Structure 1
Amino acid sequence: MSSKLIATVFIFVTIVVASEDSNIDFTYNGFESSHLYLDGVAKLTSNGLLRLTNDTRQQKGHAFYPNPIVFNNTFNVSEFSFSTSFVFAIRSEFPNLSGHGIVFVVSPTKGLPNSFPSQYLGVFNETNSGNNSNRVFGLELDTIENIEFGDINDNHVGIDINGLKSEKSASAGYYDGNGGEFKNLSLISGFPMQVWLEYDGVKKIIDVTLAPITIEKPTQPLLSLKKDLSSILNNSMYVGFSSSTGSILTSHYILGWSFKVNGKAQKIEISKLPKLPSLDEKQDSKVFLIGLPLISLSLILMLAIAIFHFIKRKKMFKELHEDWEKDYGTQRFKYKDLYFATKGFKEKELLGTGGFGRVYKGVMPISKLEVAVKRVSHESRQGMKEFVAEIVSIGRLRHRNLVPLLGYCRRKGELLLVYDYMPNGSLDKYLHNNNQPRFLLNWSQRFRIIKGVASGLLYLHEEWEQVVVHRDIKASNVLLDGELNGRLGDFGLSRLYDHGTDPQTTHVVGTLGYLAPEHTRTGKATTNSDVYSFGAFLLEVVCGKRPIEQVRECESLILVDFVYDCWKRGEIVEAKDVNLGEDCVIDEVELVLKLGLLCSHCEALVRPSMRQVVRYLEKDLALPDLDFLSLSSIGLTSSGQGENFQDFAMSYPSSMDRPISYTSSIAESLLSGGR
């Protein structure tokens, strides 16, 4: 025989064999006479049921058709098709709990030796699930929701390729032929159901249909996925089933199975299928003997957890209440409301941090009022009654240029102060963030803020029923509302006394650079010391510099000295913020700078009152002539007599080298950073 003839015969035989293998067709109406390959806990029962698992925990079972299936024919390897149908049932020791599910598998190997039970369904393990080299196709009937695999629920059907994260999945059920209404099915009901899986190699479509065995195959599939399997499946593969159990005793059954390559699988004859074990009283007794004690234990545990959380929650929201606080009921906030308003005082709600506490933005649960909540530590109860009394009194202040203090709350070792929320934050960030142009303020805005703060301070000193000494006037304590109007805030250090009386000696509090000299010597905070702080504030707003700024490692710029030097040279306007440019009213700039020097006078009685300051700013009163002042080695001195002037020496906080009891106030604003 010639070599050419031998080659022709070989090709013919190959085509015939391939053609026969690629059109394989088998049907099992029960498995009594089958020769399936079994491993794990899979067994065949005496009446022909394929029982993949057998009421065990953390086990797996496999059953495969014993011979390899040739999917790809010789002529067009990308257009092979296959169809399969099977009847299954899942029965658990509990009616509403199950130990995982069943997977129809197309695999390169017979059996899955390295697979894990439980959530891996006996198909994959923790290292290979999702690997493209697996070349495994699966149809899962899953009864557990595994977050790691993105399961949609604990009762779903999914198409898997090379892993247990389904390409597509749907809740178990079917579409009724009468109108297409969707009807749910429970995979763990214990009753048999039928699955149809069809792959069209020409259209590259996978259709999956599920229904009870009592009805015909629905016309509308449960799942439909467009996917080319030719690059996933090898030419020769094995087909079968895998199942696994977890912590719940469960049995997984296959009652019948049909399969065909390149054609429609034969219809399973439901009447010939073996019978499942009856759901008798034995199963019911399991529920009573095992289920009820477990449920009772769960209820007791849940009750204990609920009581624990109730006690913990009550303790968490516990506040300090004393009889004297009953008079302040309307000004006292509940800690629970403040906690939820600030989302549990989360960091993302933090507005700013200062020397005396942290400030959070909040939205009150019922009224939806936006507030700023400051948490202030207080480890001693000494003086707390008087302090709270003053806080409540200050809460009655009402002026358009003051940030309203709405009330307070006391809890454990802290005091919480509640303020109205200012959306544009503190003036400080607009003056000292020159690298952010959106924060720059023009002169008209700055001048309006200055006049507004002056008006608010006049109200505190002279127009309210008591004298309120603020004690911490600075740019970071001036808040801007939605229209960039200046509002003086942070009344945590404020003190009150009656008109016509002398304020009592207190600890020295305030911020370095804004403290009046006499305050550091005597500890007395007065309206005059407020005016001194206001003077430093005026220079800060116009110059865009802090009262004390470090310019080199061992050198600081004293702002009042800098402005005075400019005035002495006859160029006081040169001290203004370079960001103001030429677009400003020079007369107003000069007025505010000179007023800042006047308010910064070291002699308290020489400083103007806030009523005079307001009149100066409104140009209702002429500013005194500063030519009476000259510079000496110890500060500013008077070289003559004039209206409202006496001989004096100016001392600035930079010269405070004498030992004093000094307490720095908040390094940044009470409500800095967006209030």
Structure 2
Amino acid sequence: MSENPIFFLAFVALFLSAASQHDEFVYTGFGGGGAANGGRSNISLTGVAEIENNGILRLTNDTSRLIGHAFYPSALQFRNATTGDAFSFSAAFAFAIVPEYPTLGGHGLAFVISPTKELKGALPSQYLGLMNAADVGNFSNHLFAVEFDTVQDFEFGDINDNHIGIDINSLVSNASVAAAYYGGDGANVSLNLKSGGTVQAWVDYDGVAKVINVTVAPFSSKPAVPILSFHPVDLSPILHDRMFVGFSASTGLLASSHYLLGWSFKMNGVAQSLDLASLPSLPHPKKKATALIIAVSATAVIILIAAVIGAAYLFYKIKNADVIEPWELEIGPHRFSYKELKRATKGFRDRELLGFGGFGKVYKGTLPGSRTEVAVKRVSHESRQGIREFVAEIASIGRLRHRNLVQLLGWCRRRADLLLVYDYMPNGSLDNFLFFDESKADQPVLSWAERFRILRGVASALLYLHEEWEHVVIHRDVKASNVLLDADLNGRLGDFGLAKLYEHGANPSTTRVVGTLGYLAPELTRTGKATTSCDVFAFGALVLEVVCGRRPIESKAPPEELVLVEWVWERWSSGRWADVVDPRLEGVYDNEEVAVAIKVGLWCSHPAAAARPTMREVVRYLDGGDAAEVPDVPSPPASDGGHEGKSDHGGFEDFVHSYPSSSFGKGSIASAIALGREEAGLVGPDGPVSSFAYSSLSSLSRGSV
């Protein structure tokens, strides 16, 4: 009997522990007291989330690139503190997604279990306010989410733009399905998440059977069969003992208002379904008042009368107006107003100029309202006939999503000008770091680790453009000045697709074969037909530049080092590849990674297109970091002895195509040829030109410039 008190106390402790684990709350609206949860009457909001007067929780509004979070204020016990096993849990919630533009949602919301309520560092758009590019896939996230996504993001392998996905530590869903529910007759009924109607969702985790079920329906009763079931899955390693539960939503270029109308939750039990009829109603769209229509009409008449009196002023206003043709409205909501961009760049003043090139000038700007820093490229386009195709192509490119591409945010057309709006890259372009400039006393030097990370990032972006997006996109102008560096010195490829766009019109600042001299594949200068292999060739030139810290042709270099690819090939063949590594690295680099980079760069630079690798192969070998795994680079075609300099191909003239200037004219080409002959000693039949360089840069004599 003496043991009975001890047994009784243990039983009481076990009972109290079990009772504490059955956390349950219900929100039937979020105003006037909140949840029926035993005294807890509030909810934690961050970002733009707010509770409206009628009790609806609005996570985001119809503004671009916003995040809204709503969490239950207290952490809940999600695991057995003794065994570490995850408890079962159940949630039911009613939500609505009202897009700014019909049928175009942006981006979606997620039910989330997280170690924190703040989710610091999370990004909007495709990241749903849950994490950022560096966090995706990290086991240290300890994050579980069920996404209701209304945008198809190819970077994360989304199946469509109306799906439900289960995400564990990543935005690449472990399981996903098109939004739908099973009716009473067992039929699969499609459900449009962005219809603006109320949807109820149920998320249930069985900690014993190790299964996650997700069910949705546009009514109050729960369908018998879940639309998404994922098993076996043990959340014990993912969840901490105590976690926060709530919701996250975000907008991107396209925006939606994400509403939460009600929410119930229960630990170690089944959450009660919500009666949708008892929840707050969604706000109705504002109706156009008759008085407003009359006022607008009267104003139009007044303006017309004033136009007769002030003809000169009206002419000035029309001349500077932002004219929008009907077909432009069909392209999509990516259009900025000219007034907005002019204000953002402070009138396109020279002080805001970031740089310029063949495609136009680039200005730094700050968008009014959101205060987002952007880069605005002002492109002159002279072809009125091709302007519609040009803008349609821009809208298509604006859908590209990859962490190593500079994001195209939108565009604006004003007469012959096209304004393209991009993410702002605070560290500028790679060439500013790569090539020694005597005028810059404090010019920073990129470490080898930073350079190799940049190469891998650019390779990944090209693989996405060539193979992983829904269409093949050929960049056509891969070079160091088009690789931009973000705040963390990650490489992002810019100007993708612009060369293709210029086929719709004329551009006097570039060569007829669109691209930059020094990076053009030999077959491109002969045929004028761009292929993915041409991008591979240009990437090879970029790799060698990054390794050596030099341009493809360096006029100030000794004659034997004039052509970078030939010099590197000679040193690699003789086993002296360390001679070509940028001396500013002072010998601090990973030998194996440098060897891989040189080998891949030479392979990509092969004059024969068929002998070059694909970008998928390039990414695999750069990620492997083992030079022994990279196949031996095929030898270039045998040279013509000493007669190459006399051939009709032009000999050294062909080298000029690799000179890094996109504005070479015929006169300057002739000067460069003369300079090159004199400096390199390639005059006459005794001046040997290697087959590697000869084949790589042929066709000047064919008039391809």
Larger Rg: 1
TM-score, normalised by the number of residues in structure 2: 0.45
Structure possessing the higher relative contact order (Cα contacts under 8 Å, 6 or more residues apart): 1
Higher strand share: 1
TM-score, normalised by the number of residues in structure 1: 0.47
